[in-house]
Amino acid sequence: MKALGLAFGAVASLLLIFVGGFFMGYVGWSNDANGFEADIPAQYTQMKNAYDNGWKSVVEIAQVPTMQQAAYKDVYDGVMKGRYGADGSKAMLQFIKEQNPTLDPALYTKIQQKVEIFHNEFEAAQTNIIARKQAYQRFLTATTSGRLYNFIGHYPRIRCGVPAGQPDDYQIVTSDKTETDFQNHKSEPLNLLKNK
């Protein structure tokens, strides 16, 4: 009888260790899954933030040359009328060395740099969300424990394209040209002089 009690105790202890280990493993796995589900929307918000701040900066900086040009025009008109009168100079020969205002080309360089920074920051944000979704996909499906725990947990609980082909509320931003090129599997070289 004593041997039967010891055997029953040993089996119960092993069962308790197995169930406890399984439960603790699931709790840890579920915490990680919830972390992914918090990170993906947060990264999507950061991607929107990078896009919003980037294009606003470019638009705001691009206005500076137009503002500078308008200011030069006002100053230049005033200088010319003050120098030569409302009807301009009527002299046959004029021996005056003119110093006309010019637009600073550094402003255009700054705009180009800001556009490049905008593209780089936005690309990094989009790359980050793609990587997080790929990691979540692997986390849920690439291991036996992930598949087993997910059978119990039923993740994902957000619409993030995981597993592949599922609805995705956190897609990257692209353009009509890119979508068309990828549908047709063809792309033409970029022609910067097309509008000229």
pLDDT range class, residue 39, cuts 50, 70, 90: very high
Amino acid at 130: I
Least confident of 55-64, 126-135, 139-148: 55-64
Q: How far is CA 97 from CA 94, 100, 124, 142, in A?
A: 9, 10, 52, 78
Write the pLDDT tens digit of every residue in 134-193: 999 999 988 888 888 989 999 999 999 988 889 999 999 988 888 888 889 888 887 777
Rounded to an integer, the average pLDDT of 57-66 is 79
* pLDDT at position 22: 85
* pLDDT at position 36: 94
Query: In sequence order, which residues have a C-beta less than 8 Å from that of residue 181 and are 6 or more positions away?
Result: 187
pLDDT range class, residue 35, cuts 50, 70, 90: very high
Closest CA to 121 of 20, 26, 46, 39: 46
* pLDDT at position 86: 64
Number of other residues whose CB lies within 10 A of the CB of residue 34: 13
Proportion of the chain above pLDDT 70, given as a percent:
80
* pLDDT at position 95: 53
Is the pLDDT at 123 greater than 80, yes or no? yes
